[in-house]
Amino acid sequence: MIQFTPALPRAMSDRIGLLGGTFDRLHAGHHRLIKEVAEHCDHLEIHVTSDDMASEKGVQVLPYDQRVESLAAHIEQTGVQGSIHMLENSLGPAPHREDCVVIGCTSETFNGCEIINEMRLKAELEPLEILVVEHFIDEIGEVLSSSRIRNGVVSPSGNLWIRASDFDTVRQMPSVLDEELKEPLGTLYKGPENNPSIALNSALSSLDDKSAIIAVGDVTVLSLEESGLIPRIAVIDGRTKRQEWSPASRINLSASHRFQAVNPAGMLTRSMYEACRDAMGWNGPTVIDVEGEEDLSPILLILLCPLGAVIMYGQPGEGLVVRRVDLAAKYRARRFLDAFESTETN
């Protein structure tokens, strides 16, 4: 159990409140829920689902310790008096606790709170005051949820990571980003240029799941294909180091669909954005054929893909970069895109 000290004493006393949930990818909706329930009690017990319970929501839910760490930091920062406990079943202690008076929920979990009160009445306990907190609505009018964050659609504050209006004009890379973009966006696996399989084998050995790789660049895509792996999305332009690359003709991917994009060097266009967006939404392996250059497409792909996706691209003269997409990668990619300069209309 983790305890917290309030920043200021509360006027109420002896009112214990209950709150339960997964609290994955702590977001603005969680913040609202905690704040409003805490305002109606003297001490707030937050019960966080165990790893066994959370696993039902998918493999991308963070481990219990990480979820608790994020929650603890938020509670300490906001001065809420409370404690964090592990929740190992759907009802927790609420049906039988005699010292609790309030329970918080959203409209989705309201029925569960009513069931708890029915159980309390049968046990001759006072029903809990049910506090229903409104959902936080994100930028496009949808309920902000951990699942939408895990799916890579919105940030924890409810903002879209990327939108079509970002490409009302062509975006050109500013010179100020030249050096920063030369730094790998992920882990660099080194290997000689004349034998890319060395770097690829090292990279693949680090991955448990190789079924949904997003590969950028002809060398990377061909190396994967020759190793027997078909990328979920392959982005190719027939070039390497901005020169025609004849081995690209050996790429013979079996894809369910191919998308076309026009994207000049040093730029990001609406065409490139739409191809990446549509490929991400397609069910099955896809190829994006780029007329121009695909070097900057990892920025778009990171912003579009779900958390946990793996992006691979070549680092000229050094090896292969692998990035498992997390929130940090998305924040960095968004910062890059915001720094791009607007040029002529698409």
Predicted confidence band at 194 (pLDDT cuts at 50, 70, 90)? confident
Q: Look at residue 277 and tell me whether its pLDDT is greater than 80.
A: yes
Q: Strands, E, within the chain: which ranges? A: 2-3, 16-21, 43-49, 82-87, 100-105, 129-132, 169-172, 187-190, 213-216, 233-236, 239-240, 243-244, 257-263, 267-268, 286-292, 310-315, 319-324, 341-345
Across 151-173, b (16+ Cβ under 10 Å) vs e yields ebbbbbebebbbeeebbebbbbb
Count of CB atoms within 10 A of residue 106's CB? 17
Report pLDDT digits (tens) over 31-49.
999 999 999 999 999 999 9
**Which domains are assigned to the chain?**
2-150 (3.40.50.620), 164-345 (no CATH)
Count of CB atoms within 10 A of residue 215's CB? 30
Mean pLDDT of all residues in 278-306: 95
Phi, psi of 112 (to 5 degrees): -65, -35
Higher pLDDT, 255 or 114: 114
Locate 230 and state its tokens. Answer: 């078909």
Cα dihedral sign, 66-69-72-76? negative
Residue 300's pLDDT is what?
A: 97
Locate 103 and state its tokens. Answer: 């329970």
Predicted confidence band at 11 (pLDDT cuts at 50, 70, 90)? very low
Q: Look at residue 274 and tell me whether its pLDDT is greater than 80.
A: yes
Q: Helices 218-226 and 197-205 meet at what angle, rounded to 10?
A: 70
Mean pLDDT of all residues in 164-177: 92
Mean pLDDT of all residues in 72-92: 95
Pairing of strands 310-315, 239-240: unpaired
Q: Look at residue 306 and tell me whether its pLDDT is greater than 90.
A: yes
Residues 168, 342: Cα–Cα separation, whole Å: 9
Predicted confidence band at 183 (pLDDT cuts at 50, 70, 90)? confident
Residues 113, 284: Cα–Cα separation, whole Å: 41
Whole-number mean pLDDT of the chain?
Answer: 91
Mean pLDDT of all residues in 206-215: 89
Residue 9's pLDDT is what?
A: 39
Q: Look at residue 180 and tell me whether its pLDDT is greater than 90.
A: no
Residue 7's pLDDT is what?
A: 38
Q: Look at residue 291 and tell me whether its pLDDT is greater than 90.
A: yes
Report pLDDT digits (tens) over 91-141.
999 999 999 999 999 999 999 999 999 999 999 999 999 999 999 999 999
Residues 266, 278: Cα–Cα separation, whole Å: 22
Predicted confidence band at 179 (pLDDT cuts at 50, 70, 90)? confident
Residue 149 contacts residue 156 (beta carbons within 8 Å): yes
Question: What residues does 3 pair with on adjacent strands?
Answer: 83
Predicted confidence band at 54 (pLDDT cuts at 50, 70, 90)? very high
DSSP state of 249: G
Phi, psi of 197 (to 5 degrees): -65, -25
